[in-house]
Amino acid sequence: MATPADKLWRNARLATMTGDGLGAIDHGAVAAIGDTISYVGPDAEAPDATEIVDCEGRWITPGLIDCHTHLVYAGNRAKEFEARLDGATYEEIARAGGGILSTVTATRAASEDDLIASALPRLDQLIGEGATTVEIKSGYGLTLDDELKMLRAARRLGEVRNVRVRTTLLAAHAVPPEYRGDPDSYVDLVCDTIIPAALGLADAVDAFCEGIGFPPEQTDRVLTAAVAQGLPVKLHAEQLSNLHGAALAARHGALSADHLEHLDASGIAAMAASGTVATLLPGAFYFTREERRPPVQALRDEGVPIAIATDCNPGTSPMASILLAMNMGATFFRLTVAECLRGVTVNAARALGIEGGTLQPGRPADLAIWDISDPAELVYRIAANPLHARVYAGI
C-alpha cells in the first residue's frame, strides 16, 4: 500500500506530458504530499488521502507555464498601434524614439507599487487560464535602479499571488536615450554594474539581438558577463532579421532562443547541439503581421524542443492569454496539439531551467483541471477558457 497522501485528485484523465506526446492516462489519479506530487497513475491503485477530490472524468494537465513575458511595464501603446494601422512600421516607430522607449519613459516614472498594480490584471488573466509559473523580464528601465525596480516588482508579484515567478534581466533590450551616441558604454554598464547588481533578483539574463536592439558583438559581451556571474542566458533572436543570434546563444549554452522567424539551418544545428529550447511567440508574429514563419519542420527534424509563450508586452504582443498563444501556435505555425501542450508545460519548464511541466512524483503539485473531453479542445477554441480548477503547490 502506497504512503497516504495529503490530497488526492481522482476519477480524472491525465495528460502527464511524460514521454514524447501527452503521456495520457485514461482512468487516472494524482496525489500530493505537501507541495509535491507523490503519485501519478491508475485511479485503482491511488493511495489514500486526507482530502479527496472527485474530478468527475475531467482532464488534468500540469499547471501551464508562460516562459516568456514582459508582464511588468507602465502605460500602453494603443496610439502606436493606431499609427501602425495608418502604415507606420514597428521598426520606423522604434527608430523615431517611440516603441520600446516610450514604455521606458512610462516605466521609469512608475513606482514599484504602480508597476505591480498595473501588472496584476495581466497576471490574473494568465492565472485564470491555469498558469502556475510565469517568467517576467525587466527591460523597460534601462538604468541600474529602474531595472532592479522592475525585477523587484516581478518578484513581489509572486508573493501577492499563488504563482511561481521566474525573473529575467533584460537590461540589453534597447539602448537608452542617454547612451544613444555611445551604445558600447551602455553595454559596459550592463556587464559591469547591472548584471552583478541583479544577482539574487534575476534567475536568468536575456538580450534583444536585433538591428534595433544590440548587434551580435555587444550581445556576446552581455551573455559572456552573465555566464561569468553564474547566470543562465536566453536570447531574443532572429525576430526581425537573421543576425545569427540563436547560434551565439547556443555557444553560451542558452536555455532558450526566442522568436526565431528568421532562423536558418546553422542556427538550428547549433541549438540542437546545445539543447537550447526554441521558444515560439505567435502573438508577436500575429501583431506585427510578420510574414515569415519560424522553421518548425526543421526544428522538429533536428529534435530541438519547442516552447510557446505569450511574449505579453505593450508593443508587439499585448496578449495575456496562454490558451490563445497555443491556438495561434497551431493555426499560424502548424504545431500539433501535443506540441502546443508540450510547449506550455514540459518544454516551457526546460526553457526556464526548472523542474516541472510534467505530472510525475517529485515534481511540484501544480495542476490545471479542465472542463474538456479531449485535450485538443485546449488548442481549438478562440477566446474561450475551459479551466475548472487550478492547483498551486498542492493547494
**Count of helices and strands (H, E) across the chain:** 16, 15
Q: CB-based contacts of 337: which residues, under 8 Å, 6+ apart?
A: 330, 375, 376, 378, 379
Query: With respect to ligand DI6, which residue has the nearer C-beta, 17 or 171?
Result: 171
CA 350 to the chain's CA centroid: 11
Stretch that binds ligand DI6, among 11-19, 143-151, 310-318, 341-349 (CB under 6 A): 310-318
C-alpha cell at 242: 537573421
Among 23, 62, 245, 314, binds ligand DI6 (CB under 6 A): 314
Q: Which does 122 bind (CB under 5 to 8 A by kind): Fe ion, ligand DI6, none?
A: none
Cα(288)–Cα(313) distance, integer angstroms = 12
- Give the pairing of strands 256-259 and 24-33: unpaired
Pair 285, 317: CB distance under 8 Å: no
Three-state secondary-structure class, residue 53: strand
Instruction: Annotate each residue in 98-117 with x if it binds ligand DI6 (CB under 6 A) or - if it does not, as one string.
Output: -xx--x--------------
Q: Is 245 in the site for ligand DI6 (CB under 6 A)?
A: no
Question: 94-108 burial, b if ≥16 CB within 10 A, otherwise e?
Answer: beeebbbbbbbebbb
Pick from 129, 128, 57: nearest CA to 374: 57
CB of 165 to Fe ion, least distance (A): 16
Q: Is 236 in the site for ligand DI6 (CB under 6 A)?
A: yes
Stretch that binds ligand DI6, among 3-11, 158-166, 301-309, 314-322 (CB under 6 A): 314-322
* Residues from 276 through 335 that contact Fe ion (CB under 5 A): 311
CB of 95 to ligand DI6, least distance (A): 13
Q: Which residue is nearest to Fe ion (CB)?
A: 311
Q: Which does 99 bind (CB under 5 to 8 A by kind): Fe ion, ligand DI6, none?
A: ligand DI6
CB of 177 to ligand DI6, least distance (A): 15
* Residues from 204 through 233 that contact ligand DI6 (CB under 6 A): 208
Q: Which residue is nearest to ligand DI6 (CB)?
A: 315
